[in-house]
Chains A and B, each alone.
Chain A
Amino acid sequence: MPGETTLPAEAAPRLPALPAWLRARPEYLLSPLALLAVLLLWQGVVRSGLVSVYVLPAPSDILAALAEGLQSGLFLRHGLVTLSEAATGFAAAVGAGLLIGALIAEVRFLERAVYPYLVAIQTMPKIALAPLLVVWFGFGPMSKIAVATIIAFFPMLVTTIAGLRDTNQGRLDVLRALGASPWRCFIAAKLPGALPHIFSGLAIAVIFCMTGAIVGEFVGATAGLGYLIVQANARMNIPQVFAILLVLGVIGVLAYAGIQGLRRRVLFWDKS
């Protein structure tokens, strides 16, 4: 009989109706809930005395320190110092990385002469140069710019070289068959084709230059968020240290998002 084979329409247990956006992207609700749960647990653990407040301050204390730092203008003043150091270092690293990367990728004898050394330097932790650079360039912003430049330079260099080496030979054949000059080939095919790699380099460099500026400030400075962290640490003002880390995190996320936004505009054609 046909009636026996059909299942009852209301057999499945019904969930309460969720809005469509939530059904499509449940993480929009789940991630904030997870964060809230962790913060509550953290607050509970610290308040119960299981962990010393000097080791791990309560989230509420961190938020208070953050509000205080933002309201007094302290974070803004030092943040601008660090940001300008990092931005200058970023610009220098990007410029130098693109130029030297292009020269190494395009000029065969330069590649043979210089590339082994660059690989050797690449394996060295550049951050270890920070104390030396402070000796060379002093306690002002110049030494921080130098550290930021050096550690952001290498990802730019390596990705520029990789991108230019990855050139699509077929596109070059099209240009060469038209008698295009090497410069025209570079501008019309190689450089645009290298941009996906170069943008990977920019995303790394924008984070690295912040790290460089902070480390430079750790070693010796009179201003900046890195300087502020060292000061707060020395005074055992741990909530302020955490608050500054939060500020640095936000700056990092914004800088990275800025690069990705630029990438979407420039690499509108790159679907990967």
Chain B
Amino acid sequence: MSTVLEAARPAIATPRAAPLIAVRELSKVYPTAKGERVQALSHIALDIAEGEFVSLVGPSGCGKTTVLRILAGLIGDYAGSVAVRGRAHCGPSREVGVVFQDANLMPWRTALANVLLPAEVLRLKGQEARAKELLAMVGLAGFERKLPGELSGGMRQRVAIARALLHDPALLLLDEPFGALDAMTRDTMNVELARIAAASRKTVFLITHSIAEAVFLSDRVLVMSPRPGRIVEEIAIDLPKPRGLDIIADRRFADTVVRIRRLLDGEGTAQLPSIAH
């Protein structure tokens, strides 16, 4: 292929620098109500380097949210190893900030008080100024005293992003953060997210089922198979950053989206001559 996109790498990511996150042989089995066992994840390996924007795409139910919940420390019962900066990770960590599909704001708290929630839980003092800065960074200056019920869906998700950044985590985890928004708001939010990720210099791990969103935002896209979830492909996106929405018209963008689409449609790597090299 004569594109600037790198050819397929092996499914295990090759770390460029010392990885911020290193996941090895990660498997997860859920017991069902009938006493059966469902293999949600099977031998996942991935590395995320400091400052990288990595997306994980896959069909519904492939276990991508399980990966995120393990990284967030919300699931502690798994097989394999997860390390943050070389240290074993099992449980919630200050190194991680999470944004979920729903903003999950406390409706009785103002936007500012919601952003300050991590400071209360982690007993950090004097974070008001930083919380206001973060609200300004996500484009909500002047909305500090609004209640979530007075904000639009996109604005609530911006508050959630500011909240996830308050305690200055090294890694920002995003679980389909714009999945509940309408298509136009979603495009706007993606441009904003690219800007926020660059401005805050965070490492970002994004779960999404929108291929275009993943390609638009990421340095690398990991493609997951249906259950049991495995990472079947890793695609580096070498489109120049910062990217504007006009990149959608770029040929290379379209090629990458089609390529991932084919992978997800179950045609399999072996049947794709452009990838099986």
Residue of A nearest to B147 (CB): A269
Complex-state Cα separation, A175 to B122, whole angstroms: 10
Contact at B102–A178, with CB atoms within 8 Å?
Answer: no
Name A's interface SS: helix
Given A170-B104, A269-B108, the answer on whether A179 and B149 have CB atoms closer than 8 Å is no
Quick check: is B106 within 8 A (CB to CB) of the other chain? Answer: yes
Contact, CB under 8 Å: B100 / A179: no
Given A180-B121, A184-B121, A170–B107 Cβ distance below 8 Å?
no
**Residue B154 is within 8 A (CB to CB) of chain A in the complex:** no
Interface size, B (range):
20 to 34
Encode contact with A along B56-93: 1 for CB under 8 Å, 0 otherwise. Answer: 00000000000000001110000000000000000111
Interface contact A188-B92, CB-CB below 8 Å:
no
Q: Mark B146-160, 1 if CB is under 8 A from A, else 0.
A: 011100000000000
Please pick, from B104, B122, B163, B167, the residue contacting A173 in the complex, using a CB distance under 8 A: B104
* A residues near B121, Cβ cutoff 8 Å: 175, 178-180, 184, 188
Contact at A177–B73, with CB atoms within 8 Å? yes
- On whether the beta carbons of B104 and A270 are closer than 8 Å, the reply is no
Residue from B100, B163, B167 within 8 A of A170 (CB atoms): B100
- Assuming the contacts A269-B108, A269-B147, asked whether A174 and B122 have C-beta atoms less than 8 A apart, the reply is no
Are B91 and A173 in touch, CB under 8 angstroms?
Answer: no
Cα distance A268–B104 in the bound complex, in angstroms: 18
- The 8 A CB mask of A147-177 against B (1 = contact, 0 = none) is 0000000000000000000001011011111
For the A-B complex, the count of residue pairs with Cβ-Cβ distances under 8 Å equals: 59
Q: In chain B, what residue has the closest Cβ to A184?
A: B121
Scan residues 245-272 of chain A and give those whose CB is less than 8 A from a CB of chain B: 268-271
Contacts of A271 in B (CB 8 A): 149
Instruction: Please tell me if the beta carbons of B92 and A176 are within 8 angstroms of each other in the complex.
Output: yes
Nearest-Cβ distance from residue B148 to partner chain A, whole angstroms: 8
CB distance from B122 to the nearest CB of A (A): 6
Whether A171 pairs with B122 at a CB distance below 8 angstroms is no
Asked if B74 contacts A168 (CB within 8 A), the reply is no
What is the chain B residue whose CB lies nearest that of A271? Answer: B149
> With an 8 A cutoff between CB atoms, is B40 at the interface?
no
Give the CA-CA distance A181 to B72 in the complex, in Å: 16
Q: Give the distance in Å from the alpha carbon of A173 to the alpha carbon of B164 in the complex.
A: 12
Least Cβ distance of A177 to chain B in Å? 5
Interface residues of B in 40-65 (CB under 8 A from A): none
Q: Which residues of A contact B104 (CB under 8 A)?
A: 168, 170-171, 173-174
- Closest chain-A Cβ to B68's Cβ sits at a distance in Å of 10
Q: Which residue of chain A is the closest to B102 with respect to CB atoms?
A: A170
Instruction: Show 13 A/B contacts (Cβ-Cβ < 8 Å), sorted by A.
Output: A171-B104, A174-B98, A174-B104, A177-B73, A178-B117, A178-B122, A188-B120, A189-B106, A268-B147, A269-B108, A269-B147, A269-B148, A270-B107
